[in-house]
A and B are shown apart, each in its own frame.
Chain A
Amino acid sequence: MLKKILLIITFISFLGNANSKLERNIKYAYSKGMRYSLVPLLKEYIYLSKGNLKSMERYLEKIILTVGAKNFEGLDISLLQRGNSSVSKYLAAKKIFAEGEYEKAGSLFKSISSGSIFYPFSRNYLAVLSYLQKDYSKALSLYKTCVETSKSRLDKNLSTRVYKQIKVNRDICIAGIARTYYAQRNFKKADYNYLDLDKRSIAWPPTLLEEAWSSYYGENYNRTLGKLVTYKAPQLKFITNPEIYVLRATTYLRMCLYGDVNKVVEDFYSRLEKTAKKSESIAKQYKNNPDYYYQLVRNYQNESDKEFYYFLKGIYKSPNVKSFFDNIKYAERERKKLSKIQSSNLKGLLSRNIDEFIKIQKKVIGLVAETKVEKYGIDLRKSFQTMSYIKLEVLGRKKEALYEGKEEASKRGEIKYLKRNDRQYFWTFNKEFWSDELGDYVFALPVECPDEK
């Protein structure tokens, strides 16, 4: 027994010594402007301190806001849960949320102090949890808190990267408000709230589709088409969600503009069938090969398949991936700052840390891209199915009308449609595609269904 206790004491004292040295090194390096090279040291510190960050919490917060929480999500949850700091709670909650334990995640998010920089982020997550639980009023309230608290923390003195993160969080919460109204089928309010979102925000482009759906369910089909046409703007071409096409076709179907439906379906097939095959083939061939995917995304500009190029560009530009690319860029820049470190041992350690950090970023990019490529193939395939169903619906309606001896309802619409085509229509828009007008287009097409007055 005595022997055993002695052994434990020795270990603890050893750990204690190591921790203090680590702390010193982190503080020293941080003071010299090191951030990315500190990530492994901080992870080590959290491990050694068993989540009890104490004075290191400040450093961790800053570094998480700079490099992203994702870089710390690999840590043991139990270790993070043990810590009292907001940052370790935030990290633990995020991880638990990702694992689908919403209740547990919720209580951890709730426990984050209102003074913490992670508070607005925690509100965002809590709002999502309420939304998922269909507690829309609570969700609205939390989103609003999220927006407010995010705004209040937008300090010009913050580093660009930290500032950006808080801003994105704010915008996501603004969109969240609109989404919640949409879920409540309060489409007018939803549309109104979508307008609060800054069009320059990275969170804005996906909301266009949501707005389009909102307008669709509000039976404002011309507005839906207007929202969707925005995706044709050169600035937004990297948004390659097949649902855009599906919704466009569905909207034309609802308006009984069968010629337009066919055109959208055929356009979709001709544009993307090859791309779908390419996505499926890559996903099959490069399973568990993150490096390949990293290179694929990194070199997206070399892609010859136009649609796949936009898709890869979309990955590249997506907030998750973009921040990792930025990490790599900034980590490389940090290497130049190593000269400021006097201790050659520490310098060497930090340099190795940068290598390791970059390696992890690349891997994460690769893994995310792999998932996206795989999903893109699946989504496209499903969308093709939907498109075919839509086309068959059109054909079925036309045939039935002929069998029943009724004049084709779509005839009038088709003639009109033939007078102006989508391209010309778009070209007109292109001339006026000013960024501030994006998403504000509304079509003026008549509904051609027989029972429509």
Chain B
Amino acid sequence: MKNKAFFILIFLSFSVLSQNKRNRILSIIDQEIEEVTRLSRQFNGQNPNMLFRRSELYLEKGRLIKEEENNKYLSLSPNQRKSVSKSSYFRGSQGLFLKAKSEALNLLRKFPKYEKASDVYYILGFNEKEFGDGVKALDYLVKAEKMAPAGSKSQVRIQNALAEIYYNKKDYPRAIEFYERNIKKTSDRWWTKDAYNLAWSNFRLRRFDRAIELMKKVESLSKTGKYVDMTASVNKDIGLFYAESGRMEEGVKHYKNYNKDFTLELITIASFLKESGKFAQAMTTLNEALKISKTNKNRAKIYLVRMDLFDKYEKINYHLKDSVSLYKLTKNHKLTKDQYDIFKHQVKKQIGKLQKKIGNKTYQSSKVVTNEKVNQVVKYLTLLKGLEPQTKNDNHFYMAETYYQASQFDRAIENYLKGFKIAKKTGNKKTMDRSMDGMLQALAQPKGKFPNRSKYYYPVYTTYLKYDPRSNKAKEIYKKLYKIEYDKKNITEMKKILGTFSKTFPNARTDSDKMINSLVELYTKQKKDGDLAMLMKDIKTGKYQMSATGKKGLADVAQKLDVKKAEGLLAKKDYKQAKQAYLKIFSSPGSKVAKANAAYNLMVLNYKDQKLQETYNWGRNSLNLMDDKEFFKYRNTFLSVGKYLFERLQFSSSADLSHRSYAKLCKTQVRTKKDFYNNAVTMYKASRQVEKLKSLRNSANKCNIDSKSIMITDKEIVDYYISSNNIPALEQYFRKAESNRELTPYLIDPAFKIYAYYQKQNNQSRLRQWQMKIEQLYRDSKSRRLKVPVAGLDAVSKFDVARLKDELKRIKGFRLAFPEDRFTSLLDQKIQKLDKLQENVARVQKMGANYGVAHSYPVLIEGYESLIQEIETFNPPGKSPEYVKSFKQTMGQVTAQLKQKVQNFKALGAKAIKDNEILSTYQGSSSTSVYNVFDDMKFYDAERSGR
């Protein structure tokens, strides 16, 4: 019982199972799995047979599910198939295959010496086959085959499975080898299936005799009922075997034995052969099929397959013959919609192909061939007329197309015109359009190819424009007509067409531009200035439409004429008229270059006439219009004009021209750039235009102006603010100026001006800040060995002198007093402090600032004089007159020495002032420095001629 219940492992071909049957089997398998699991429990999971059986069942279930999944997947349309993930359709079966594999591997792991290991490997192999891993499947099956007992059922099925794998791998010799091992044992009911596969393997190796022999045997055994019935498959395939082997007659004979109409089988075989690229065999099969075919239905099928083959073969004559036969057949037999469509498609395809060939140069060389093909087209067109009656009216058009391809343009146009007329009558716009296209294309052929084309211009274009005066196509035709007239230089017709065109297509300005331009061209060539002027007028009044660009282009034409005129006047030295002419050029629309040129010449002409303001104005206009490159050529003229204006005290004008000129040269490396810059600086300074000066300064770094020039600019700006006593603006600019390190010593004095400003406001925090700034600037200058201007030194020394005065105040702050030793000590202290003060004074003196020199000695002198006076007025309290006398005597000696010192200091102070040539206000004298701006300016002679 146990043995019988188990190991009935038969892998059937499931493809024959209906959905209902499959579901019933699946339900049984589920019950089996459940039962095996229950049974395994009875063995405490220690019976390998249970694991084996379960693995088998999972595999079996997986295969059934896969078949179902496959059906679902195949039922999708190709597009749907592209958009879905294939694996998602096979999840169920994949899960089961994995389970089967896992059970089998688990079994081998737990029971490595399992007696039916070969069957387990067989399952694993089969499983991998289902997974699509042919290599692994083969590995397992080879292992299974080695382990299987010789001659056992296991071995047979493993060998057959191996054979199947080799078959699928297209390794037919090995497939045959394995099938043949068991094929002699005809006792198995699956023999027919294996033999069928073996037959196919032989067929693949073109061993047709063996293949056919096996198929026949399969067929006969299938009928006995003792074997799996493969009759249907044999019936389907044997014809193919015969056909491939070239034994078609035998095949037909074989089919005749079935005693039924087997045309369909032959057609199927032929279709298969055709798909495999075996056209000759396919044709033979079809010819046989046609011979035996008894029904129109089948004949129609045959004709259609043959037409396809003839089409592939390029056998047009045969194709045409079958087409005619099939057409005749349709009188008595209705084709299916698909067949009808295929038929029409075939006919149209041939027409298309023939037309293409007709158009091919190779064929065109032979008129006979071309005519033959044209005739074939005519025949196909007749068929098409029958197949698609609605195309009847298009026949002239198709004919025209054919002639066109054959380069027979006269006949083509004649047919197009006829086709067009018929289409117009029937309101077939599509054909009208296509005919007109064809005609236009034909007319566009070169004269060599179509010598008579001009004959058709008029009829074609006029026909068309009557039919369709406003379409885009009409527009093209107007253009073509216009071109014809242009070629003829027929200005009158051109203007006529232009007028109509402008009215019909007011927005087609590009096209009308071209038309007008070609008219202008003719007028210019023919030197018809009057007509040209009229044309311009018409354009202005809107008679002819023109685009803005077109108008501008036209203006350029006029402008050129004006330039030419102006140049003529210049040459004649008629400057007055020349000025007028240039003025006109400048004020009329036209090119920027011409206008710049006019402005430049006007600048020069006014310069000649010594008209300062006009010279400046035209210079500025010219600079505005002129590009940098153009300016570069004339830069020296502008330098001269600048100088000229400056010399006539036109500082602002000169500065502006210099500034603009400098800007034009900004990116260049020419010396003139620096000249324009410095001139602008000087003249802005002279005209006190500080904002312009600042704007100039701001561009200096960008335009790569040298640091010295920049420093001068900054200095000028700072000076401007000082001179205009605009301390807040000075303070604001100070930070920018400060970044220029060359300017550090110069800035000490302006900083002091700011200090003084805050001093007036008694703004202590700003005072501290600026005092620190001043001292810092001084230290920086010293450390960098930069020469500090006198004003700067003065500023610094003011702080030093103030400190000396503080020191003096402290000395004076304590008074001499008795007793005697205390007096001596206090006196000594005072003298020591005065010595110290003297040292400090010496340091101030050494700095050499006028202020310091002038004000430091007086502090020291005051210190000594104050001490002298204190000693002389001191009376020792409570002392005897003798003592007092003695004291006074002694002190007299001291004061005498001190007085001597005072004298020395006074002499030194005077000498120092003298040595330092202090002319400052401190001595009461002042002088204003004279600054000659001319010294800094560079000018060149302007080119005084026009360009």
A residues with a Cβ closer than 8 A to B are: 250, 269, 381, 384-386, 388-393, 395-396, 398-400, 402-403, 405
The residues of B that contact A399 with a CB separation of less than 8 Å are: 25, 28-29, 32
Query: Which one of B34-42, B297-305, B937-945 is at the A interface?
Result: B34-42
Contact A381:B42 (CB < 8 A) given known A389-B2, A392-B5, A393-B4: yes
What are 10 A-to-B residue pairs whose CB atoms are below 8 Å? Answer: A389-B1, A392-B32, A392-B35, A395-B32, A396-B32, A399-B28, A400-B8, A400-B10, A402-B25, A403-B17
The residues of B that contact A402 with a CB separation of less than 8 Å are: 21, 24-25, 28
Determine whether the beta carbon of A396 is less than 8 Å from that of B5: yes
| CB of B814 within 8 Å of the partner chain | no
Determine whether the beta carbon of A392 is less than 8 Å from that of B25: no
| CB of B6 within 8 Å of the partner chain | yes
Minimum CB distance partner of B50 in chain A = A388
Docked Cα-Cα span, A386 to B39, in Å, equals 9
Minimum CB distance partner of B4 in chain A = A393
Determine whether the beta carbon of A392 is less than 8 Å from that of B36: yes
Minimum CB distance partner of A253 in chain B = B1
Determine whether the beta carbon of A393 is less than 8 Å from that of B1: yes
Determine whether the beta carbon of A393 is less than 8 Å from that of B25: no
Docked Cα-Cα span, A399 to B10, in Å, equals 11
Docked Cα-Cα span, A393 to B1, in Å, equals 8
Determine whether the beta carbon of B29 is less than 8 Å from that of A388: no
Determine whether the beta carbon of B39 is less than 8 Å from that of A388: yes
Determine whether the beta carbon of A269 is less than 8 Å from that of B12: no
Determine whether the beta carbon of B10 is less than 8 Å from that of A403: yes
Determine whether the beta carbon of A396 is less than 8 Å from that of B1: no
Docked Cα-Cα span, A445 to B444, in Å, equals 100
B6 CB to closest chain A CB (Å) equals 7
The residues of B that contact A396 with a CB separation of less than 8 Å are: 5, 8, 32
The residues of B that contact A403 with a CB separation of less than 8 Å are: 10, 12, 17, 25
Minimum CB distance partner of B25 in chain A = A402
| CB of B232 within 8 Å of the partner chain | no
Minimum CB distance partner of B189 in chain A = A404
| A-facing residues in B569-605 (Cβ within 8 Å) | none
Determine whether the beta carbon of B35 is less than 8 Å from that of A395: yes
Determine whether the beta carbon of A384 is less than 8 Å from that of B42: yes
| A-facing residues in B619-660 (Cβ within 8 Å) | none
Determine whether the beta carbon of B4 is less than 8 Å from that of A405: no
A253 CB to closest chain B CB (Å) equals 9
Minimum CB distance partner of A385 in chain B = B42
Docked Cα-Cα span, A405 to B225, in Å, equals 12
The residues of A that contact B4 with a CB separation of less than 8 Å are: 393
Determine whether the beta carbon of B1 is less than 8 Å from that of A386: yes
Determine whether the beta carbon of A392 is less than 8 Å from that of B6: yes
Which listed residue (B8, B17, B29, B39) contacts A385, Cβ 8 A? Answer: B39
A3 CB to closest chain B CB (Å) equals 66
Highest count of chain A CB atoms <10 Å: which of B16, B35, B53? B35
The residues of A that contact B43 with a CB separation of less than 8 Å are: 385
| CB of B31 within 8 Å of the partner chain | yes
Which listed residue (A384, A390, A405) contacts B5, Cβ 8 A? Answer: A390
Docked Cα-Cα span, A270 to B68, in Å, equals 35
The residues of A that contact B32 with a CB separation of less than 8 Å are: 392, 395-396, 399
Minimum CB distance partner of B60 in chain A = A399
Bitwise, B435-477 to A at CB < 8 A (1) or not (0) is 0000000000000000000000000000000000000000000
The residues of A that contact B39 with a CB separation of less than 8 Å are: 384-385, 388-389, 392
Shortest beta-carbon contacts, A-B, top 8: A388-B39, A393-B5, A392-B5, A384-B42, A389-B5, A399-B28, A385-B42, A395-B32
The residues of A that contact B2 with a CB separation of less than 8 Å are: 389
A248 CB to closest chain B CB (Å) equals 15
Known: A384-B42, A385-B43, A399-B25. 7 other contacts (CB 8 A): A389-B6, A392-B36, A395-B28, A400-B10, A402-B24, A402-B28, A403-B25
Highest count of chain B CB atoms <10 Å: which of A384, A393, A395? A395
Determine whether the beta carbon of B42 is less than 8 Å from that of A395: no
A275 CB to closest chain B CB (Å) equals 14
Docked Cα-Cα span, A390 to B6, in Å, equals 10
The residues of A that contact B42 with a CB separation of less than 8 Å are: 381, 384-385, 388
Minimum CB distance partner of A380 in chain B = B42
Determine whether the beta carbon of A269 is less than 8 Å from that of B29: no
Minimum CB distance partner of A265 in chain B = B35
Docked Cα-Cα span, A386 to B35, in Å, equals 12
Determine whether the beta carbon of B35 is less than 8 Å from that of A388: yes
| A-facing residues in B14-31 (Cβ within 8 Å) | 16-17, 21, 24-25, 28-29, 31
Contact A391:B35 (CB < 8 A) given known A399-B25, A402-B24: yes
The residues of A that contact B31 with a CB separation of less than 8 Å are: 391, 395
B229 CB to closest chain A CB (Å) equals 9
Determine whether the beta carbon of B25 is less than 8 Å from that of A390: no
Docked Cα-Cα span, A4 to B28, in Å, equals 85
The residues of A that contact B24 with a CB separation of less than 8 Å are: 402
A354 CB to closest chain B CB (Å) equals 46
Docked Cα-Cα span, A386 to B43, in Å, equals 12
The residues of A that contact B6 with a CB separation of less than 8 Å are: 389, 392
Minimum CB distance partner of B12 in chain A = A403
Docked Cα-Cα span, A269 to B41, in Å, equals 12
The residues of B that contact A388 with a CB separation of less than 8 Å are: 35-36, 38-39, 42
Docked Cα-Cα span, A286 to B732, in Å, equals 110
Minimum CB distance partner of B20 in chain A = A402
The residues of B that contact A391 with a CB separation of less than 8 Å are: 31, 35
Minimum CB distance partner of B22 in chain A = A402
Minimum CB distance partner of B32 in chain A = A395
Bitwise, B138-162 to A at CB < 8 A (1) or not (0) is 0000000000000000000000000
Docked Cα-Cα span, A391 to B6, in Å, equals 11
Minimum CB distance partner of A396 in chain B = B8
Minimum CB distance partner of B1 in chain A = A389
A221 CB to closest chain B CB (Å) equals 16
Docked Cα-Cα span, A389 to B5, in Å, equals 6
Determine whether the beta carbon of A398 is less than 8 Å from that of B36: no
Minimum CB distance partner of A402 in chain B = B25
Minimum CB distance partner of B7 in chain A = A396
The residues of A that contact B1 with a CB separation of less than 8 Å are: 250, 386, 389-390, 393
Docked Cα-Cα span, A402 to B31, in Å, equals 15
A322 CB to closest chain B CB (Å) equals 32
Minimum CB distance partner of B44 in chain A = A381
Docked Cα-Cα span, A386 to B3, in Å, equals 11
Docked Cα-Cα span, A396 to B21, in Å, equals 15
B401 CB to closest chain A CB (Å) equals 61
Docked Cα-Cα span, A389 to B25, in Å, equals 19
A244 CB to closest chain B CB (Å) equals 17
B480 CB to closest chain A CB (Å) equals 78
The residues of B that contact A386 with a CB separation of less than 8 Å are: 1
Docked Cα-Cα span, A269 to B8, in Å, equals 25
The residues of B that contact A405 with a CB separation of less than 8 Å are: 16
B230 CB to closest chain A CB (Å) equals 13
Highest count of chain B CB atoms <10 Å: which of A250, A269, A393, A399? A399
Docked Cα-Cα span, A388 to B28, in Å, equals 14
Minimum CB distance partner of A386 in chain B = B1
Determine whether the beta carbon of A398 is less than 8 Å from that of B12: no
The residues of B that contact A390 with a CB separation of less than 8 Å are: 1, 5
